[in-house]
Amino acid sequence: MRILVLHSDVPPDAPPEDRDTLIAAGAISQALASRGHQAPLAAFVPDLAALRAQLAAQRPGVVFNMVEGIEGKGRLAHIAPYLLEEIGMPYTGTGADALIATGDKPGAKRLLRMAGLPTPDWSEPPAWEGLTPGRWIVKAADEDASLGLDDGAVVEADKVPDRAEDCAGRFGGPWFAERYVDGREFNVSILEEAGTPRVLPMAEMTFEEWPAGRPRIVGYIAKWDEASFESTRTVRRFGVEEREPGLARDLRTLSERAWSLFGCRGTARVDFRVDADGQPLILEVNPNPGIAPDSGLAAAAAQAGLSYPEMIERIVKAALP
């Protein structure tokens, strides 16, 4: 099969989270080639006529969608699947509507609450309603990749507006606050098989040798500076299914419900915190999560006995009519 790996147009001086898209796209192309497919690479241009011409020249049977943003803005990632749908070209991963719904993080939390799914309390400007005393974590409302997440992101309630204003000035875009849950963190990866979401082995993110009192978060440095203390001491552990089957059952059920709620396709990752009472709370639903060979999705697939090329090929099969 001829599969066009369509990726974000990333300049050489882009930040590491954007350059990671190119690394992943190259790895995907190599993985597909190892399975006998033709898998050329191409940069996405957000123009319908240009995209039509690009596809006519490449003549793929399916597009592997690796467009994670446009001009560095993740909030625009939905444009690629929208245009591919307009053309009628099959593509991997989640559709435009689900990307829009999950990309608006406060809006996604409202949908989770309406569906009866647990998520930490949150507050938004300008009114900052419900901002009760205690610790909160200030997050970008419509970007991912842990943008702006460092130790200073966790603040007392009275400091939230100042932190949000500072982040908006430094990074742009809207910011909101979520109640900080000082508990365990889990990433649950899902891979679609025969039209059904398959929950892969669940990963707990452990914070080893972490200084007392330091917020336990997977921040920007932990994600993008592999040599840092934050990265080397944030360790992914598997095996909760055997050690704590009740907790694993709850995580699985909530992940499957979140997948269905947002209409995810191909693959997704649901991030949780588990509070002191053992209640899992959904932090975010990530359709089209990171897919590079060193990603959490690839690690979970390996735990399930799938090689990286096998995982990539299964994502392609899920996109076929």
Residue 134 clears pLDDT 80, i.e. is over it? yes
- Tell whether 173 and 40 lie within a shared domain: no
Asked if residue 315 lies in contact with residue 66, where contact means CB atoms within 8 angstroms, the answer is no
Residue 35 clears pLDDT 80, i.e. is over it? yes
HSE (CB half, 13 Å, CA atoms) of 101?
17
How many domains are contained in the chain?
Answer: 3
Domain membership flag for residue 223: no
Average pLDDT value for the chain: 93
Poorest-pLDDT segment among 14-18, 123-127, 263-267: 14-18
- Tell whether 47 and 138 lie within a shared domain: no
Report which of residues 149 and 247 the model is more confident about.
247
Predicted pLDDT of residue 306 = 97
Domain membership flag for residue 217: no
Domain of residue 256, CATH code: 3.30.470.20
DSSP readout, 87-129? HT--BSS--HHHHHHHHSHHHHHHHHHHTT-----EE-TTTTT
- Tell whether 190 and 262 lie within a shared domain: yes
What is the average pLDDT across 109-114?
A: 98
At 291-315, the pLDDT tens digits run 999 999 999 999 999 999 999 999 9
Q: In which domain, by residue range, is 258 found?
A: 101-117+183-202+239-319
- Tell whether 107 and 194 lie within a shared domain: yes
DSSP readout, 194-228? TTEEEEPPPEEEEETTPPTTS-----HHHHH-TTS
- Tell whether 66 and 142 lie within a shared domain: no
Domain membership flag for residue 234: no
Domain membership flag for residue 225: no
Question: Which residues does residue 265 pair with via DSSP β-bridges, in sequence order?
Answer: none
Predicted pLDDT of residue 43 = 93
Predicted pLDDT of residue 145 = 60
DSSP readout, 15-72? -HHHHHHHHHHHHHHHHHHHTT-B--EEE--S-HHHHHHHHHHH--SEEEEE---BTT
- Tell whether 29 and 164 lie within a shared domain: no
